[in-house]
Amino acid sequence: MQHFALTIIGRDRPGIVSDTAEIIYKLGCNVADSSNNILGGQFAMILILSHPQITDAAQLTKEFSTLEEQGLSVFVRALKPGGEQRPDLPGELCMISVYGSDKPGIVYQVAKVLSDNNINIVDLNTKLIGTAERPVYVMICETVLPADLTVTSLKALMDTLKQQLQVDISVRTVTPVEL
Amino acid sequence: MAVQEIVVYPDPRLKQLCDPANITSEITTNLVTDLIDTMYESGHSVGIAAPQIGICLRVAVVDVSNHKLGKKHNHELMVLINPEIIESSGSKTMREGCMSVPDYTGNVERAREIVVHFTDNEGHDQVVRCKGFEAVAIQHELDHLDGLLFIDRVSNPGTDIFKRK
């Protein structure tokens, strides 16, 4: 079955999910995965969809034209076969929290060190908190470590970064337990 | 008795309120043996509740002593018949998974320390204080007796539910 990535974003109001879900349901699409959040004043939806007949992204885009008319931006991307499957990511899970007074480059510098060390980001949220006068930047990141990297080495990398960026960084492992 | 098959959601037996077990009945004795056998057989499980093998009675077993997170505080094998948490304090969040909800894990906040009142395998009334991973495991298993799954305890679906690695 052809899978698509659908992105919808626009000024938040009640009814965006309902209007989108109605179209998806009436079309006969399956929603395999989705993330839907308010970001600033915008509501952002990203969905992985499949349809038994529709294979063309342009055809699917047309079905969402009523949303465009309401001021939402809609984008559809056709996935290559297997693009809907989450890859198996073995390796230790680590949460990294970065926070400090707001300054340019926090996300870039942290992400660069992670990328240079082949650490995979599987979830990332950033927020600006604090007050207008004293903004505090918070970045919370879930990562999967490569087999050859220990948590101790990651902590050492983050300690160096902490000094350079003058922010606070904490690293903690997540151990999923089966009960 | 024997290792039993694990009941997996959406089986309705996982969402029922379980009945109190009759302490002296052979049904309870056999159920306890089945739970112990099934828990140890799985290799990685640290606890199992009766509804997970399809029996709607208030019985669960827990043993965290072989798990790296349970080494420090544990009471080895605990057979919990008609258990009740009579005191709880603190909080601890763990990434929980469940044999009855394969493929997903979720962040669940539970009490860090509990006092649990139950009848043990020999029919003795017990009041035991548990903490850390053992306390979390007991709370997870006791939820099963009330038809609750860890999914019912997750507060933020965006950040708290994960596809199992």
**Over the stretch A15-73, which tens digit does the pLDDT of each residue have?**
999 999 999 999 999 999 999 999 999 999 999 999 999 999 999 999 999 999 999 99
Residue B157 has pLDDT above 60, yes or no: no
Chain B touched by A9 (CB under 8 Å):
no
CA distance B59 to B142: 8
Neighbours of A54 (CB within 10 A): 19
Q: DSSP letter for B8, please.
A: -
CATH number at residue B45: 3.90.45.10
Residue B165 has pLDDT above 60, yes or no: no
Tokens standing for residue A43: 């509501």
Q: What's chain B's Rg over C-alpha atoms?
A: 15
pTM, to two decimals: 0.82
Of residues B156, B154, B143, B121, the one with CA closest to residue B48: B143
Chain A 87-106, residues with CB within 8 Å of chain B CB atoms: 88-91, 93
Structural domain including B132 reads 12-85+112-149
Residue B97 falls within a domain, yes or no? no
Residue B43 falls within a domain, yes or no? yes
Which residues touch A37 (CB under 8 Å, ≥6 apart)? A43, A44, B158
Chain B touched by A41 (CB under 8 Å):
no
Provide the edge-to-edge strand list for the sheet that holds B101-110.
A177-178, B92-98, B101-110, B161-163
Q: What is the pLDDT of residue A176?
A: 87
Query: Which domains occur in chain A, in start order?
Result: 2-78 (3.30.70.260), 93-174 (3.30.70.260)
Residue B26 falls within a domain, yes or no? yes
Chain B touched by A125 (CB under 8 Å):
yes
Residues in B lying within 8 Å of A, measured between beta carbons: 42, 44-47, 67-69, 94-99, 105, 133, 136-137, 140-141, 150, 158-159, 162-165
Residue B69 falls within a domain, yes or no? yes
Residue B6 falls within a domain, yes or no? no
Q: What is the pLDDT of residue B154?
A: 84
Which residues touch B149 (CB under 8 Å, ≥6 apart)? B9, B14, B15, B98, B100, B101, B143
In this predicted complex, what is the ipTM? 0.78
Instruction: Name the pLDDT band for B12 (thresholds 50, 70, 90).
Output: very high
Q: Is A71 left (phi over 0), alpha (psi -120 to 50) or beta?
A: left
Residue B100 falls within a domain, yes or no? no
Q: What is the pLDDT of residue B114?
A: 97
Per the annotation, the verdict on B26 as an active-site residue is: no
3-state secondary structure string, A62-115?
Answer: HHCHHHHHCCCEEEEEECCCCCCCCCCCCCCEEEEEEEEECCCCHHHHHHHHHH
Amino acid (one-letter) located at B68: K
Residue B18 falls within a domain, yes or no? yes
The structural domain count of chain B equals 1
Q: What is the pLDDT of residue B105?
A: 86
Q: What is the pLDDT of residue B77?
A: 97
Residue B104 falls within a domain, yes or no? no
- Mean pLDDT for A67-85 is 94
B-chain residues within 8 Å CB-CB of A86? 163
Q: What is the pLDDT of residue B44?
A: 83
**Over the stretch A100-154, which tens digit does the pLDDT of each residue have?**
988 899 999 999 999 999 999 999 999 888 788 888 899 999 999 999 999 999 9
Chain A 158-177, residues with CB within 8 Å of chain B CB atoms: 174-177
Instruction: Name the pLDDT band for B138 (thresholds 50, 70, 90).
Output: very high
